[in-house]
Chains A and B, each alone.
Chain A
Amino acid sequence: MPFYGSEPESGSPGRDLTLTAFVLLFAFGTVYLPSTTQERISSALQVSALRPFIAMQGLLTDVGARRVRVEALQVTVDSLSAAMSTHQAVADENETLRDLLELQERAGATYRPATIHRPGTPGSESTFLVDVGTRDGIRAGAPVVSPTGLVGVIRETRTANSSGIDWTHPDFRPSAMLADGSAYGLIESRRGSFREEDRLVINGIPFHEPFDSGQAVLTSGLGGIFPRGIPIGTVLGVAEAEGTWRKAYYLEPIAEPAAATHVLVLVSDSGDDASQVWAQDTVGVIAPGGDNR
């Protein structure tokens, strides 16, 4: 069934034909109207009946243009974000270098600045390369320090560079003491189930020696490898006890090896006491959960 009606209205046939003829005549006449009249008719229709549709077209064009502008702004924001993130890294590095400069001023010429590179290959965990070697006065066993404290030790030296291990390596065993020199022990690294679980432990502490949480632990200078007074960490709590004669304590490391990019390496002619280098700015403010950068 068609959806239009089957009984349309109809007027007088004669009048309809006349009207139709007139309309057709007018329609044909529009072609021959002067162009100014045609334009006037067009303009009149454009600003009246067709205005909403033309306005819609303008609106959509504006929306499209705004979308393009938004995309351009998004690109600008992305670029700025990338620049800002890079800026933050540069600012951090700058701060570290400033700290190192201050440290070197206090330490004198006994430390050489160096940049740490990590090989990143399987099996190279806990090891690093520094861009100073024997020509810079570096020797095997030289401590590697950051502005906050002890990072590791040099194991092998070459002319232009050296390799070392950080405190997470099992062979890292400096002699250590409490900041007031009341107790001595040996630092060792204990591997966890995964690398983030690696712990630093001070072992060989007499059973009845009182160790309070938060006390600073420094290198003791015994053994002739590490100068006395380099910060290592702070006491966290008892790790183990053997009988009634020995205890081991967990330490909160003061230097984060993974974050260390610029360091100082002790040169061969340095002295045996470095306690004055860190005493004022690091050892005095060591506290549990503090900034261990």
Chain B
Amino acid sequence: MNEVDVRTVSLWILVGLLFVLHFVLHIGLSYGRGAPDLLTLGLLIAARETSLGRASVLGLTTGLLEDAMSVLAFGANSIAMTIVAAGGAITRDLFVGDSRHFLPAYVFMGKWTRDLVHWITMGREVRQPFVEQVVLQGAVGSLYVAGIALGMSWLLGAWGDV
């Protein structure tokens, strides 16, 4: 395997680990909002590695997994994750992403978009006020995931330099 192949395989392993860790933290350990949304982070990373169609399928799959635990708003996560995955794949044609600042900004915007779409599609009866759920909780959650992406980027970048 050449260097590109190794990098791609490592990245998909990382995405898989993020997915598993997300469900371990949210379902297995029941950390709830205290745990970061690693599913969206993994999806955003994966979306830039694959084609638009495959990214959408991955988004739908992860969204359905989230919806499986959501009784009152089934489908909202599927829509949000599919849109985010498709959007993430499209950014590949718009941004090269060489800058160190790109990844946190990309993850922050992706996560916030996911929360916004989720809030819109989940239904009036279930959702909280826009300011509370999207502006406040969404911004904090997005910063949280962006911070993790930044740390991960630094760690893996440093690891790659060795």
* Complex partner residue of A56 from B24, B59, B156, CB under 8 angstroms: B24
Query: Once the chains are docked, how many angstroms separate the CA of A23 from the CA of B55?
Result: 10
Which residues of chain B are near A2, meaning CB under 8 Å? 97-98, 100, 102-103, 153, 157
Q: Is the interface of A mostly helix, strand, loop or mixed?
A: helix
State the Cβ distance, B119 to closest chain A Cβ, in Å. 14
| A5 within 8 Å of B (CB atoms) | yes
On whether the beta carbons of B86 and A20 are closer than 8 Å, the reply is yes
| A83 within 8 Å of B (CB atoms) | no
Which residues of chain B are near A20, meaning CB under 8 Å? 52-53, 55-56, 86
Chain A: which residue is nearest B22 at the CB level?
A: A53
Number of interface residues of B (CB under 8 A): 53
| A15 within 8 Å of B (CB atoms) | yes
On whether the beta carbons of A31 and B121 are closer than 8 Å, the reply is yes
On whether the beta carbons of A27 and B75 are closer than 8 Å, the reply is yes
On whether the beta carbons of A50 and B74 are closer than 8 Å, the reply is no
On whether the beta carbons of B27 and A50 are closer than 8 Å, the reply is yes
Chain B: which residue is nearest A24 at the CB level?
A: B82
Given known pairs A3-B160, A4-B49, A24-B86, the reply for A41 and B153 (CB within 8 Å) is: no
On whether the beta carbons of B74 and A31 are closer than 8 Å, the reply is yes
| B1 within 8 Å of A (CB atoms) | no
On whether the beta carbons of B98 and A6 are closer than 8 Å, the reply is yes
On whether the beta carbons of B78 and A27 are closer than 8 Å, the reply is yes
| B143 within 8 Å of A (CB atoms) | no
User: Which among A16, A17, A57, A60 has the highest number of chain B CB atoms within 10 Å?
Assistant: A16
On whether the beta carbons of B52 and A7 are closer than 8 Å, the reply is no
Chain A 11-37, CB-CB to B under 8 Å as 1, else 0, gives: 101011111100110111111110000
Within B92-109, which residues are at the interface with A (CB < 8 Å)? 92, 96-98, 100, 102-103
Chain B: which residue is nearest A50 at the CB level?
A: B68
Given known pairs A2-B98, A42-B67, A56-B28, the reply for A11 and B79 (CB within 8 Å) is: no
| B135 within 8 Å of A (CB atoms) | no
Which residues of chain B are near A16, meaning CB under 8 Å? 51-53
User: Which among A23, A28, A30, A57 has the highest number of chain B CB atoms within 10 Å?
Assistant: A23
Chain A: which residue is nearest B76 at the CB level?
A: A31
| A259 within 8 Å of B (CB atoms) | no
Q: Is the interface of B mostly helix, strand, loop or mixed?
A: helix
Which residues of chain A are near B28, meaning CB under 8 Å? 52-54, 56-57, 60
On whether the beta carbons of A1 and B86 are closer than 8 Å, the reply is no
Chain B: which residue is nearest A3 at the CB level?
A: B156
Which residues of chain A are near B69, meaning CB under 8 Å? 42, 46, 50
* Complex partner residue of A4 from B11, B78, B121, CB under 8 angstroms: B11
| B50 within 8 Å of A (CB atoms) | yes
| B30 within 8 Å of A (CB atoms) | yes
Which residues of chain A are near B67, meaning CB under 8 Å? 30, 38, 41-42
On whether the beta carbons of B75 and A30 are closer than 8 Å, the reply is yes
On whether the beta carbons of A24 and B52 are closer than 8 Å, the reply is no
Which residues of chain A are near B8, meaning CB under 8 Å? 5
Which residues of chain A are near B131, meaning CB under 8 Å? none
| A193 within 8 Å of B (CB atoms) | no
Chain B: which residue is nearest A13 at the CB level?
A: B52
A-B contact pairs, 29 of them (CB 8 A): A2-B102, A3-B11, A3-B153, A4-B11, A4-B97, A5-B7, A5-B8, A6-B98, A10-B51, A11-B51, A16-B53, A17-B53, A19-B56, A23-B82, A24-B79, A24-B82, A24-B83, A24-B86, A26-B78, A28-B75, A30-B67, A31-B121, A32-B75, A33-B75, A41-B64, A42-B69, A42-B71, A42-B74, A49-B65
User: Which 5 residue pairs are nearest across A and B when measured between Cβ atoms?
Assistant: A19-B53, A31-B75, A56-B28, A30-B75, A45-B68
Residues of A within 8 A of B (CB): 1-11, 13, 15-20, 23-24, 26-33, 38, 41-42, 45-46, 49-50, 52-54, 56-57, 60
Residues of B within 8 A of A (CB): 4, 7-8, 11, 14, 23-24, 27-30, 45, 48-57, 59-60, 63-65, 67-69, 71, 74-76, 78-79, 81-83, 86, 92, 96-98, 100, 102-103, 121, 152-153, 156-157, 160
